[in-house]
Every structure is written in C-alpha cells, then in structure tokens.
Amino acid sequence: MPHTGTAPLDPARPGTAGLHGEITHFYARQMQALDDGRTDDWARTFTEDGVFLLHGGHDRAEGRPALAASSAKARAALAEQGITHRHWLGMLTVDPGPGGSVVARCYALVVATHLGGTPTLHRSTVCEDVLVRDGDAWLVRHRQVSRDDLA
C-alpha cells in the first residue's frame, strides 16, 4: 500500500495523541483475540469486505468469513504442532487518510514458543492498514503485511 501523501499527525495538535492511543488499544485487543484463538472475534475487527494481503497478495483473504476461516486453519495447524504464537506490534505511526480513515503502519513481530520450549522470533514484518470508524470502534478495511525475509 503506497503512502497516501497526507501530512503525519502532529502529536502536539490536540486530539492526535488520543487517536494514537485509540489505535494502539485497538491493535492490542485485535492481536490478543488472534493469539487467544478467538478467530471469529479477530475477523470482526475487519470490515465486512475487509482485505488481508500477505507479502504482496501471495496469500489473500477477503471478507470476514474468509478471514475467520484462514486464521482458524492457521491456529489449528499451530495447535497440532504444540506452538503458541504471540504478535508484538511496535513503532506505530498513525496518519490521516481519505474520508476520515486512518493509515496505520507498524512493525509486527511474531514470537513462536513450542510447548516446553524457548520463545523464538518466528517472523519480522511490516503491517500497513487502512482503518475506518464504525461507531466508537475501529475496523480494518485493508491490511498489507510484508515479510522481511521475502524479496
């Protein structure tokens, strides 16, 4: 997803620190739902027609049913192997987008732990989202995840 060319949020401007906090809280809840295996709850953090693209669209899920099914399949495979994943997001930037949307970009690390084992860094990625308001909540309309280990 290309940069929108919009001016970054100014943390000194009233309200922008609050928005950054809202988005940070959104991601904490979203990633905990995914890591806890609540795949339907995780899918509901996307718009009805939300899109998830992994590494340029090589893996794609579109719409809540596909998002829930894809994450449930991945979760089942990890459980079968005795692996727990934890997602850690950081270096978050939040910029205004068109029509009141927000463009968020962060680094996302996935830590894998085998039952009885030592946590290891499984994957390093960049996550770029377009978020839209739904009442008091935020939803992902479009997510692009780029893996650092793939060209």
Residue 10's pLDDT is 55
Residue 11's pLDDT is 52
Quickly count: other Cβ atoms within 10 Å of residue 51's Cβ: 19
Q: Residue 37: what are its φ and ψ, rounded to 5°? A: 85, 10
Residue 3's pLDDT is 47
Q: Residue 83: what are its φ and ψ, rounded to 5°? A: -115, 135
Residue 7's pLDDT is 55
Residue 94's pLDDT is 95
3-state secondary structure of 139: strand
Residue 2's pLDDT is 45
Sites in the chain below the pLDDT cut of 50: 1-5, 12-14
Query: Closest Cα partner for 65 from 50, 87, 79, 85?
Result: 50
Residue 6's pLDDT is 52
CA–CA separation, 151 and 134 (whole Å):
35
33 to 70, 94, 103: CA distances (angstroms): 14, 22, 22
Tokens standing for residue 105:
């970009």
Tokens standing for residue 127:
């996550």
Residue 110's pLDDT is 98
Residue 58's pLDDT is 78
Query: Closest Cα partner for 59 from 48, 73, 47, 45?
Result: 73
